[in-house]
Chains A and B, each alone.
Chain A
């Protein structure tokens, strides 16, 4: 294919992607349930949602570090869902992940240089030791690690430097796409800012495409072009970053935004954003909106069938019956009604 045909193809696209885990003998936990979206080249898609909603599972499934239960993953327009292990290993050079926990994801017995060179060695990128060392030094410089640290061990470094190692390792094979799974959540604000700036600079310099997972709304707003809001395995709202914060439509998104604690004393100790209602279990969920037990606008229809994830305003997608009603759209009921045999 030529560049021209690629022009409008998103770099990454997922269609109805699901990942279920078996729990006990008969049950299935729907960690990711029929998720669809696309990410254009050079852009950042933010994924937000509460802990346990399936963000990490989604990121790992897209890279096929976990095998999808159903659905498709397209990379540069090609379906990679059925790629063999060997082909996947080839492809994974261009798709990398930076992990949630900079402490747990680095081998404590390896030095900084060892960790960064590992993907280069595994993939036989260089034939000489000198060239390898040169590239490692270059990577360390790119992420702002002093070369004198190349013989240090991860435990000797602070969290920010450890996360820089994670970033350098992810960049080693010159990837096009990086899943950033909460790369700054374990760091404190001053260091968070340094890493976020680094990631944004790298994107500009290298044309990287990011899927940026976080539960921190101010971080996601800062870094993303578009944002998906996830709730219990499903995407409930997607729009441009600016639109989402200006005009949140889904009741869950509205609840999330109202629970943000501002760093000032204006709304002190008002009990806001407190969860009420039972949290739906992702194990063998019944049809209907997963947010219904916690939703102030719940209607009868909400627990009958899954609301459709649809474009309700230009480039603003929502799955909610109330939003459909408010905007005068007809609800389309079908789909998941008989999913679990009810």
Chain B
């Protein structure tokens, strides 16, 4: 890690600490338990990877940090979210809007198509973001030059700055959004599947830009992705999320090199096509995630787990600590555990 420009992270160097977060979506008909007892923290200059299949609760976790859950239905029912020591859940909407969102915390949303303004050309949209975050008081000409540089950084020729979003392909729109989020130089960057629509060379470029923010400014990053290659190459720590819970948490060494894994993590690795093998069937994890309106009593993974035994149905597994950094939520490891992180 290098020197940071942001010096207000707390004594352990945590920019973000989430403790026992619980989020529900409530309608007249049902209650979705989207996030259950999630705790993790991210240090300045580091990248935290959040992995898991659709509906696991990754986006909901991210939206809770920014307090952007849907008004009437989404509710944080428990927990704390500390941003540089300050509990974001206790701030007023106005402070959140004016001082935190887009100012000190930026988010790259999962669905790029909806976050660009369709009637403003892409150059103007980047210009607006740069103008708003302009501590050096750059002139209009300097900012316009910066717009062109920013476009080229994400691999889009500068002469396309006057085009509108509908004239760009899906991946190109995503690159414009990334360029805008990075232009804000945030203390915390939350990137929800930022490179899923991008090819490998552009992905490399975007990830390099994010690493640069980590190194030069000490930006802390939460990287939500289902690409384990991205996690292996970008993250310091990572967690695997399943049915609203963290089922495995550790450093990338723990996740990629340890012998011990949650059965779901093992399944995730088995379902990636392998470039070194010939055409064959993939080994997806059979079945689907349990209905979040009616989560099973015991282990949330019981229906799909090849190792499921009696205890898994009768007792909800706790997050077991196997080492200082590595935890797994599974009864198979109860003999190996150092201590239990009680939920």
Contact = CB atoms under 8 A, between A and B. Distances in A.
B213 to A, nearest CB: 14
Interface in A65-112: 100-101, 103-104
Contact of A259 (B160, B201, B231): B201
A215 interface: yes
A221 to B, nearest CB: 6
A273 interface: yes
A261 interface: yes
Contacts of A269: 211, 233-234
Contacts of A186: 196-197
A202 B250 CA distance: 40
B273 A51 contact: no
Nearest to A103: B111
Nearest to A50: B199
B171 interface: yes
B65 interface: no
A100 B279 contact: no
Interface string A172-194: 00000000001001111111111
Contacts of B152: 278-279
B6 interface: no
Nearest to B156: A279
Contacts of B54: 158-160, 187-188, 191
Contacts of A137: none
B169 A51 contact: yes
Contact of B269 (A259, A263, A273): A263
A25 interface: no
Interface string B253-295: 1001100000000011101111100110111110010000000
B157 A278 contact: yes
Interface in B103-141: 111, 113
B271 A192 contact: yes
Contact of A274 (B171, B172, B204, B271): B204
A312 B26 CA distance: 62
A221 B233 contact: no
Interface in A202-240: 215, 217-219, 221-223
Tell me the interface secondary structure of chain A in the complex: loop
B18 interface: no
B205 A274 contact: yes
Nearest to B283: A193
Contact of B157 (A158, A194, A281): A281
B253 A256 contact: no
Contact of A263 (B160, B201, B203, B228): B228
Given A52-B169, A187-B54, A215 B279 contact: no
A160 B289 CA distance: 12
Contacts of B233: 261, 267-269
Interface residues of B, number: 63
Kindly name the residue among A24, A52, A281 whose own CB sees the greatest number of chain B CB atoms within 10 A: A52
A295 interface: no
A222 B202 contact: no
A192 B285 CA distance: 11
Contact of A101 (B170, B204, B226, B284): B170
Kindly name the residue among B152, B167, B197 whose own CB sees the greatest number of chain A CB atoms within 10 A: B197
Given A275-B155, A278-B152, A52 B232 contact: no
A138 to B, nearest CB: 22
B53 A190 contact: yes
A6 interface: no
Contacts of A103: 111
A232 B54 CA distance: 32
Contacts of B168: 52
Contact of A275 (B167, B201, B231, B283): B201
Contacts, number: 173
A190 B285 contact: yes
A159 B289 CA distance: 12
A70 to B, nearest CB: 21
A50 B201 contact: yes
A323 interface: no
Interface size class of A (residues with CB under 8 A): 35 or more
A217 B227 CA distance: 13
B290 to A, nearest CB: 12
Contact of A256 (B171, B201, B285): B201
B200 interface: yes
Contact of A283 (B155, B159, B205, B267): B159
B282 A50 contact: no
A197 B199 contact: no
B55 A52 contact: no
A186 B110 CA distance: 10
A274 B233 CA distance: 14
Interface in B181-217: 196-205, 208, 211
Interface string A15-56: 000000101100001000000000000000000111110001
B163 interface: yes
A271 interface: yes
B53 A191 contact: yes
A168 B152 CA distance: 40
A116 to B, nearest CB: 20
Nearest to A187: B54
Given A51-B175, A275-B155, A158 B200 contact: no
A273 B200 CA distance: 8
B275 A218 contact: yes
Contacts of B285: 190
Contacts of A131: none
16 contacts: A51-B198, A100-B170, A160-B54, A188-B226, A189-B227, A189-B268, A190-B53, A196-B273, A221-B275, A241-B279, A261-B204, A261-B227, A262-B232, A265-B252, A275-B155, A275-B201
Complex A-B, nearest 4 residue pairs according to Cβ-Cβ distance, in ascending order: A51-B171, A261-B229, A188-B226, A193-B284
Given A49-B199, A50-B171, A50-B201, 11 more contacts: A51-B172, A52-B169, A182-B197, A197-B281, A222-B279, A261-B230, A262-B232, A274-B205, A275-B155, A275-B202, A283-B159
